[in-house]
Structures are given as C-alpha cells and as structure tokens.
Homo-oligomer: A and B are copies of this chain.
Amino acid sequence: MNFFDVISVKEARERLMENFKAYQFETEEIPLLEATNRVLAEDVYSNIDVPEFNRSTVDGYAIKSKDSYGANESIPSLFNILGEVNMGEVPEYEVKTGEAVYVPTGGMIPEGADGMVMIEYTEKLDDQTLMVYRPISVNENMVLRGEDIGKGDLALRKGKRISPETMGVLAALGIGKVKVYRKPKFYIISTGDEIIDLDEELKLGKIRDINSYTLHSLITRLGGQVVGRAIVKDDYELLRGEVEKAVKISDIVLLSGGSSVGSRDYTHKVIDSFRGRGVFVHGISIKPGKPTIIGEGEGRLIVGLPGHPVSSIIVFKAIVEDYVNKKMGVVDFIPKTKAIMDFNFPSSPGNETYQMVKLQEKDGKLYATPSFGKSGMITLLSNSDGYIIIKPHEEGVYKGEEREVYLL
C-alpha cells in the first residue's frame, strides 16, 4: 500500500470517465411493460397531441361561453339541449348560440363549444331546456387539444429512469416499445485461497464468499446484470485466465478480495497484462476502500475492490454506481434522509470517510448511531441502515449535528 499513488474520490471518478469517454453501453428496444427501472436511451418526442381532442375535465354541459355571461341564481341563461356525448365517441353535434350538449368527465367537447359548465350549476327545466346559473370563461373546465403535450414536443429526456409516472407518459403517447440501455454486463471474480462458495462444504479455516453476493445484489439494484461469476485461488495464471474470459463478455469486471499485499500485486499485474491502458488508479483516499485499483484491459473496465464486505460495498457505490449512472446520463435522486448525529466521530485526515450508521426515531426525530464492529464483521452489514460521508476537509462529526444519511 505504501507504493500507492493514492488519489481523491473525485479524481478517481474523473480519471475513470476520462479513460472511458468513448465507451458506449449498448441499447435495446423492449416492450413498455417490461421497462420499469430501465433507463431511456433516447429523448422521447410526442407524435401526437395530448389530448387529441378538446377534453372536458368535469361532468356538465358544453356551451359557447359568451352565452353564459350575466347568468346568476336569479336570472339563469337558458339553453336548448341537443343531446349528450358518450365516452370514447366523436360527438355528432355542433354547438351553436343558445345550445348545450352534455359531456361527461374525459369526454370530447363538440365543435362550436368553448367551455364546460359544471352540472352542479345547472338545472333542467324539461328534457330540452337547460338553466345555467353561473357564467363560465373561455376554455373553462376543459383541456385543449395538445395543451398537455403537443405534437413534436420533447416529452421525456434521455437518461430518465423509468418510474411508474414515466411509464404513464409513455403509454399516453402510445409508445409500446421503448429504447433503453441494455443492462450493463458485470463479471464478478472473488479471489482468495480461503474463499469457498455456498455449495461447498465449509472446512475449518475457509470462509464463505460474501462479496460476490453483495455485489450481485448491488448490480441488480443498479439495473445491471451478472454474466459470470467465479471464485479463483490466489494465483496469477488462474486469475489471468478468468479475467481473459471476463473481458470478452462483460462491460465491467469486478475483482473482489485480494486485500493481502501479494494478491494486490498480481491483480495489478493481471490488469496490466492485457492490451490497453492498464491500471490507472492505484488507490483512493476513501475510508474504507483505500486499496482499490482501477484499470482498463481489452477496452473493458476492470476494478479491483477491497476484500472486506463493507469496503467493497462502499467502493461499488462511490465509484462503480457513479460511473454507470454518468455513462447513461441518469440523474436519479439518491435515497437519503437527514438525521441528527448522536455521536462524535473524528475524520480521517485526507480521506473521504464513509461511516455506516443505524437510524432510530425518537419523539418524531431521526437519530443516527454509528454501526461499530471489528473489521470484516458481518453484523456491520445487518445492523446498518445507511452511511454518512465525511469529506476530506471536514474535521469530523459532532454530536447533535444534522447530516445527510445515504440509505442502503
């Protein structure tokens, strides 16, 4: 670690973007109903006017608004009722002076009418005659053709993650297939002589592969897909062979583990052994997560994550998530909340510190307590709700201070 040319989180992000400036995530066209949480890969313009007709926003009568001028409780305006418009049908009527047509909410307003009077302000004298007790203004209680979204308007921007609301807009525009980014492909390689997978028998001294599970889950939540997963012993040739497979089929290769000095060395060598830029980030001033290395081989991004579960989660969030979202132009609102710190915590000078915390509500206020635990403990994971970020220039966290907590 002494040999590391450690750089800030900000600089690491910039260097990564710079080195993969030309890299493009693939796109695909998928049915709208499958598009929840996917990211739009192109701007969406409307091919139609929304609504496509002058639409009523109330149950009532379509009239010429000027015919209602002066109407009041004592002297209603009188109208001749032509009939009614059914939902989903084009009205057969044209409204002329002194005429009214019943239109339900959402119905199409007939030609000639320029406003809707709500049924509450009317009364039928007989089947043919309507009394209107209030004047309406021009275009009252109606949405004009194209007023919501006009034909040719930009409706949604590239980079938008498709939420239920976005889905609704796309459906309204009649877009049944949507161009989104293909799920970025990840290949996860766990390294270490002591690591075994879940289906292997746990012999004393060995430990279960944890990181490839947490990473798999992080990738799923980010909207990526895992195209390969392997556990590799601490051996240069074995690791190189696996990475060679990985770069052929993935966008991003994650190497997890290798926190010992020896394994870090050959992870570095493996990345440099491929055609390309090699390792370009040799350590990040992030705590935990310092021994992270980032490089390029065969045009693919290769990230060497630290071995501890918490560290690898932090680095994934700080570096990999940031990269993927930037490449797709995603502007997600990162789930976070403000909470009162109920502890003093020193900063780690020169580092960006990520401290796991547990949230608790007391008397309607939200408090954050640090999740302490010895290095590598699993309960650090199960007992945390989120983390705070202490910037390199900050002195630390003071009890009573209100800070953002980023939610896990």
Given contacts A171-B209, A172-B207, 5 further A-B contacts (CB under 8 A): A105-B259, A105-B260, A167-B213, A168-B214, A169-B378
Shortest A26–chain B CB gap in Å is 22
Q: Given the known A-B contacts A37-B221, A260-B59, are A204 and B168 also in contact in the complex, defined by CB atoms under 8 Å?
A: no
B168 touching A333, Cβ below 8 Å: no
CA distance A52 to B207 in the complex (A): 8
**Which residues on the B side are within 8 Å of A138 (C-beta)?**
none
**Which residues on the B side are within 8 Å of A207 (C-beta)?**
51-52, 88, 106, 172
A335 touching B57, Cβ below 8 Å: no
Q: Does A399 contact B (CB under 8 A)?
A: no
A–B pairs, 12, beta carbons within 8 Å: A36-B221, A48-B202, A87-B194, A88-B205, A88-B206, A89-B194, A106-B207, A107-B205, A108-B205, A143-B377, A149-B378, A168-B309
B192 touching A313, Cβ below 8 Å: no
Q: What sequence of 0s and 1s flags, for each residue 207-237 of chain A, a beta carbon within 8 Å of any chain B beta carbon?
A: 1111101111110110000100000001000
Q: Which of the candidate stretches A72-80, A272-280, A379-387, A390-398 sits at the interface with the other chain?
A: A379-387
Q: What sequence of 0s and 1s flags, for each residue 321-341 of chain A, a beta carbon within 8 Å of any chain B beta carbon?
A: 000000000000101111000
Q: Does A127 contact B (CB under 8 A)?
A: no
Interface of A, helix, strand, loop or mixed by DSSP:
loop
Contact pick for A168, options B37, B175, B213, B226, CB 8 Å: B213
**A326-365 at interface with B (beta carbon < 8 Å):** 333, 335-338, 359
**Which residues on the B side are within 8 Å of A381 (C-beta)?**
165-166, 168-169
Q: Does A243 contact B (CB under 8 A)?
A: no
**Which residues on the B side are within 8 Å of A373 (C-beta)?**
148
B165 touching A220, Cβ below 8 Å: no
Copies of this chain in the oligomer: 2
Q: Does A71 contact B (CB under 8 A)?
A: no
Shortest A238–chain B CB gap in Å is 14
Q: Does A294 contact B (CB under 8 A)?
A: no
**Which residues on the B side are within 8 Å of A5 (C-beta)?**
none
Q: What sequence of 0s and 1s flags, for each residue 161-191 of chain A, a beta carbon within 8 Å of any chain B beta carbon?
A: 0111111111111111000000000000000
CA distance A194 to B53 in the complex (A): 13
Q: Which chain B residue has the least Cβ–Cβ distance from A212?
A: B171
Q: Given the known A-B contacts A87-B194, A88-B206, A213-B171, are A149 and B379 also in contact in the complex, defined by CB atoms under 8 Å?
A: yes
Q: Does A408 contact B (CB under 8 A)?
A: yes
Q: Given the known A-B contacts A210-B172, A337-B336, A382-B165, are A36 and B192 also in contact in the complex, defined by CB atoms under 8 Å?
A: no
Shortest A86–chain B CB gap in Å is 7
**A294-310 at interface with B (beta carbon < 8 Å):** 307, 309
CA distance A384 to B160 in the complex (A): 13
B333 touching A384, Cβ below 8 Å: no
B192 touching A88, Cβ below 8 Å: yes
Q: Does A63 contact B (CB under 8 A)?
A: no
CA distance A185 to B334 in the complex (A): 29
CA distance A36 to B175 in the complex (A): 30
CA distance A192 to B89 in the complex (A): 12
Q: Which chain B residue has the least Cβ–Cβ distance from A148?
A: B377
B202 touching A52, Cβ below 8 Å: yes
Shortest A329–chain B CB gap in Å is 17
**Which residues on the B side are within 8 Å of A89 (C-beta)?**
193-194, 205
